[in-house]
Amino acid sequence: MNKLLASVRLADLTAPDFAVLAQRQPVVLLALGSQEDHGPHQPMGDFVLADEIAERIARAANEAGTPCVMAPTLPFGVADYFAPSPGGLALAPESFRRVLAELLEGLLRHGLRRIIILNAHGGNVPVVHEVTLAIKRRTGMVIPSFYLWKIARQLMERRLDGAAGRFGHGAEPLLSLNRALRADTIRDAAGAPGGGEMLGLKVRDFGTLDFEGLSVEAPVEFDTVPKPAIEAAWAAGDADLGEAVAEDLVAAAARFVAHVAAEVGKAV
């Protein structure tokens, strides 16, 4: 870990501490999470998991020789399919767009050029693209987004065989990751609601109905979406798998941090 820092968390540093580190052009990680329904068995705040993994990534990167610090994790993501769920807190796309743009500008104004977004919510993806594309067009700077759960799924699939049915919202990879890192928050999955209907048609997935085997777009939200992945994942998810995937995820992200630091350094 960097000898000048007692913590990789920007929130723990004094302004003078960070001013010294900023001269070395560290990689700054900005984790984006959500507070939303993940089924009756998992905690709503996946931003807590994203925050834990972000800290592990920053530590691993520093230990490997790349100066790296994590900004405070944004706990609220873009509102999409989860409005019916009590306890969910989210931002409208236009609100999230402005928040993200201003957070990134807050880093850019101090000359920081090595920035990586650690995204942990699918609804954020199009807005993250829009905001970072605007920055690229204006400054030429590329801010990549490392989608934690998407990459965790890819890494988990490498460890499993024929387990496609286990993946989905409320299922893997978050189930095993939470079992490993937040075991005290897991509840019994019994009683997970099944799918519903709309317009006399079965709900197929988020935002879609089934009409003669075809997907038709409709305002379908999480409360009526079928959840077979939760049932498939429940019996198979385990803490050992989650810890192994977490280690794979942290290692891959730390290598990506080093790659970004090197590539941006070429352009400076």
CATH number where 108 lies = 3.40.50.10310
Digit-coded pLDDT (tens) for 234-250: 888 899 999 999 999 99
- Domain extent for 17: 10-161+242-267
Residue 15 falls inside a structural domain: yes
Residue 2 falls inside a structural domain: no
Instruction: State the number of CA atoms in the 13 A half-sphere of 264 facing the CB.
Output: 23
Residue 170 falls inside a structural domain: no
Q: Rounded CA gap, 135 and 98, in Å?
A: 13
pTM of the model: 0.92
pLDDT (0 to 100) of residue 223:
86
Do the beta carbons of residue 46 and residue 34 sit within 8 Å? yes
pLDDT at 27 over 50: yes
pLDDT (0 to 100) of residue 84:
86
Q: Which two tokens stand for residue 195?
A: 């799918």
Calculate the average pLDDT of the chain.
Answer: 92
Residue 156 falls inside a structural domain: yes
Instruction: State the number of CA atoms in the 13 A half-sphere of 50 facing the CB.
Output: 30
Residue 63 falls inside a structural domain: yes
Residue 118 falls inside a structural domain: yes
Residue 210 falls inside a structural domain: no
pLDDT (0 to 100) of residue 228:
85
Report the number of distinct structural domains present in the chain.
Answer: 1
Digit-coded pLDDT (tens) for 120-177: 999 999 999 999 999 999 999 999 999 999 999 999 999 997 677 899 999 999 999 9
Residue 252 falls inside a structural domain: yes
